[in-house]
A and B are shown apart, each in its own frame.
Chain A
């Protein structure tokens, strides 16, 4: 197990370096001189330009700048947003809100997706299964911002069950509607994955054995079928983390949730390049770490993975 962890962590390092390098490269391929752009249409004295250039390490070669950037990230220094607030401070204030929203969304999509998938899988080819398939195809086709607007219009404005925007402090009852919207993206995938997995598990020998031992269906379904069907679903959650982050950006922007996503959304809209990059970098790092953790967790659950080369 220790060997597997070490190997997996070592494998993650080149990917980590590569992704941060790519993001950094994209920003610095940016045409135009950022220092001159800072002054708008005024022309500053050359000494000032030189001083700023040195301060932001623009006088160094590209590769040196990259390593300075990397070092800063690992020290927790993510630069300063246009508002003058350090990015790490903004992140500290907004992250708990996003975490709450994401946890709520994952809870909704898991409960709904697994129940629908389980029923469809057990009654394969029935009316419920067919309508669940049509529903899931339609949900997959709806872009998240369309879902968000329609939900906001119907449940927020027409029926007025929920507030259309989230109040200060982001109380949990205000987060329910955004979380449901966020959950719709992955709900369809989770229910279909569960369905396929349930059908697969139902044909296994141990299910037949359980049935021939005379176990009641009420025990076979939750214990033998469902539990064994969940491994691919749990792995999918990690893969899907990227979708969740993009979805959170759009959903938080629309529902005005004071989280990481809305901050990124507003930075994009205002064209604050450096802030956008800092946030995307953080999101990619979180994504990598989550995937690493799930891989390790998966190895704990399933010994075959640990020993496979």
Chain B
């Protein structure tokens, strides 16, 4: 019998000394590391991407401008208009020149921000609430609830939501306001969110942890709320970010068509619409608010893209 320090007399197989195989390697579960989940993974992925920081900074800027336009301009957007300045170029204190009515373009862009952002946020909240309620009930309870809610969704889905909003807004033209236009857009825009959530819930609701919760006697509604919904909400967050961008575009399109906000409301869509007759002589009056609109929309779409990539491992692989 070889005299090896690593073997005990009764031992038949070679066993490496404990110092050579640290416990961490033996049971490969890391116990000292922080627990990870989809959201933490996503955050680690997202913060490495410049697109995330660029879009977040732009969105933050848009929010600050919307909340406190006074920080960015002292020129009143409406009261100080001189027809003598109609479609005029930049002048001292008026860096972007004047609109057809002789109002300061820069000031109007700054003051129009809150309109676009409000419509975007109201529509998004409405779409998220309707989409989550309809989608989760249809997916989780199934049966006739699913049949009724899904067909209802099909009906709303079959009408392109801008066309629907055109009809609603031409009917309620005298009541046009930020709230009414948001309702008109949101009420037809939710089925996409509901469909995505329903599909995700169908996938999640057969998971083991749902069965475990059921076995523990947790009520059905509580299972939906505490276990199924938090595990299927990821795609809803992506589609919600993008729907905020679509809502801003929809408001501008409706205002452009002349069935949006009343012309007294400061809105990028209204300004673009008002400038179209002078496209030939003063294109900057139309293009400047268009840039503000497009950059805002672009930042929300970029954020949505980054979040989608971070939350969806398949998209990460395709990158």
Q: Give chain A's interface residues, CB within 8 Å of chain B.
A: 14-15, 18-19, 22-23, 26-27, 29-31, 124-125, 137-138, 140-146, 149-150, 152-153, 157, 196, 199, 242-243, 245-246, 249-250, 253-254, 265, 268-269, 271, 273, 276-277, 280, 283-284, 287-288, 291
Contact = CB atoms under 8 A, between A and B. Distances in A.
Of A144, A149, A273, A277, which is in contact with the most chain B CB atoms at under 10 Å from its CB?
A149
Given A137-B305, A143-B294, A149-B290, A284 B159 contact: yes
Interface string B13-41: 00000000000000000000000000000
Which 9 A-B pairs give the minimum distances between C-beta atoms? Answer: A242-B160, A18-B155, A141-B298, A141-B297, A146-B290, A246-B162, A30-B171, A15-B154, A143-B249
A246 B245 contact: no
B307 interface: no
Interface of B: 151-152, 154-156, 158-160, 162-164, 166-168, 170-173, 245, 249, 252-253, 256-259, 272, 276, 279-280, 283, 286-287, 290, 293-295, 297-298, 301-302, 305, 318-319
A26 B279 contact: no
A175 to B, nearest CB: 20
Given A30-B172, A291-B158, 12 more contacts: A14-B155, A15-B158, A18-B158, A22-B156, A141-B295, A141-B298, A143-B293, A149-B286, A150-B287, A249-B257, A273-B170, A277-B167
Given A125-B319, A243-B160, A287-B160, A22 B279 contact: no
A14 B151 CA distance: 8
Nearest to B248: A143
A146 B167 contact: no
Nearest to B173: A271
Given A15-B155, A250-B256, A287-B158, A137 B287 contact: no
A220 to B, nearest CB: 20
Contact of A137 (B163, B276, B279, B302): B302
28 contacts: A15-B151, A15-B158, A18-B151, A22-B155, A23-B164, A26-B167, A30-B171, A141-B245, A141-B294, A141-B295, A142-B290, A142-B294, A143-B256, A145-B272, A146-B290, A146-B293, A146-B294, A149-B286, A199-B318, A243-B160, A245-B160, A245-B163, A269-B257, A269-B258, A271-B170, A283-B160, A287-B158, A287-B160
B121 to A, nearest CB: 18
Given A15-B158, A143-B253, A268-B259, A137 B298 contact: yes
Of A124, A145, A253, which is in contact with the most chain B CB atoms at under 10 Å from its CB?
A145
A143 B257 contact: no
Dominant secondary structure at the B interface: helix
A287 B297 CA distance: 27
Given A14-B151, A15-B158, A268-B170, A145 B163 contact: no
A194 to B, nearest CB: 13
B171 A29 contact: yes
A150 B276 CA distance: 11
Nearest to B168: A26
Contacts of A276: 166-167, 170
B301 A140 contact: yes
Given A23-B167, A265-B257, A268-B170, A157 B294 contact: no
Contacts of B160: 242-243, 245-246, 283-284, 287
A153 B158 contact: no
B183 to A, nearest CB: 12
A29 B152 CA distance: 20
Contacts of B249: 143
A153 B284 CA distance: 11
B294 A288 contact: no
A157 B279 CA distance: 9
A153 B256 contact: no
Contacts of B171: 26-27, 29-30, 273
Contacts of B290: 142-143, 146, 149-150
A89 B286 CA distance: 36
A146 to B, nearest CB: 4
B260 to A, nearest CB: 11
Contacts of A253: 257
Nearest to B305: A137
Contacts of A140: 301
Contact of A22 (B159, B170, B295): B159
Nearest to A287: B158
Contacts of B305: 137
A243 B276 CA distance: 22
A29 B276 CA distance: 33
Nearest to A285: B158
A19 B159 contact: yes
A31 B170 CA distance: 12
B301 A137 contact: yes
Contacts of B293: 143, 146
Nearest to A244: B160
Nearest to B276: A149
Contacts of B172: 30-31
Contacts of A284: 158-160, 163
